[in-house]
Every structure is written in C-alpha cells, then in structure tokens.
Amino acid sequence: MAKKKFWQVEYSITLLILFAVIMLVMPVSIQNKTQAMFISRWNERYNRTDYMFSVINTHISDDIIKSFTDAKTSAEKEQILLALVKPYLRVNTDIKPPRRYKPRYMNNAKVYSGQTYYFDDFYFAEKKLIVGIKDLNNTGLDKPMFIMMFDINGLLPPNKWGKDIFGINIFEGGKIEPFGADMSMDDLRQDCSPEGTGIGCSYYYKIGGGFDE
C-alpha cells in the first residue's frame, strides 16, 4: 500500500514538472513561430516591392521626373511617390490609421519626431498593410532619396521595428535596399536583438540572420 502511494506521489510530481516545462517552452515556441511568419512575409513583401519599383522605373515619364525636380517641399515629393506606388500597393488615402498607432523600436523605445525613422503619415494598403513614405532631401546616387516602411501586421501588435515593421531605402532610378545593408554583421546582430532598435533586421533577416527572443 505504501509503495502504491509513493508511486502515485512520484507520478503526480512528474506530471507537474512536465506541465511546468511545457508552460515555459510553449510561449517561446509561439513567439518563435509568429516571428518566423513575420520574417517570411517581410521577405515576400521586399521581393514584391523590388519588382514594383523596377516596373515603375521602366514606365516612369519625363513629366513625373520633372515633377520631383520641381517639388518645393518634402511633403510634395512624398505625395508624388505615393501616387506612383498607390495602384501597386492598393493604398487607401481616404482612411488613415488612428493616432494611437505609434511604432516603437525593438527595445520598446519611442520613435520621436525629428528622428530618421519617424514618419509623419501612415496609410493602409493591401492585406491590412500599413505603409509610410519619407523624403530625405538627399542628392546623389549613393544616398537614398526616400525611405519607406511596412508594418506587415497592420494595426495588430507588436508594431515594432524588427518584429512586424521593416523598411527600405529608395535610391534614384528606383533601386532599393533593406535598412541595415550598410551595417557590419556584428552591428546587425546587436541591432536586431531585444536591446537594439530593430532597424537593421530588415537586412539581417534578408540574408538569413536568426532572431533572438
């Protein structure tokens, strides 16, 4: 009888330990699966965007190029680029994301006005995508003219760079590259970590980098 009770106690303890292990591992597994899905969707989005700009560059007219040159403000240039990408991304300019939509860096720091990756306006696009466009006032082939961000999860959380938000530099001639393409591998690993901004994840995940929860 004593042996039976001992076996029951031992069995119960084993079940409790297994349950505790499952509860510890399961949230991480779910997070990893979710992040892997975000990365897959980002890679798909980047490839489609690269193709989009190659098509735009092929068909762009001299009048549109002149309109960029004649534009006096960044807001005007942004609206011209928005008009170009609108039919490809099915951008809805009539309804904008609510003011409560405020992207953060991966380390949960706020993105403040005046910072490079702060966008004044956001727009809904296809598949619940949220996009932002920003003119950088740069000149020269080696510097990006615009930057563009994509929240592939839309209004749903986490709304963080490197999690569900990624971005590209846009150069003259329609060439694009992911944010972080100019960073070293060590810097990419650091930036694409819970202590980093997550900006470099756009390139880090494109070259097969892993994610650290």
pLDDT in tens, 117-142: 999 999 999 999 999 999 999 877 78
- Residue 212 in tokens: 């650290």
In the prediction, which pLDDT does 26 show? Answer: 38
End-to-end CA distance of the chain: give it in Å, rounded: 48
In the prediction, which pLDDT does 1 show? Answer: 54
pLDDT class for 23, splitting at 50, 70, 90? very low
pLDDT in tens, 44-73: 999 999 999 999 999 999 999 899 989 999
Give Cβ neighbours of residue 120 (< 8 Å, ≥ 6 apart). Answer: 134
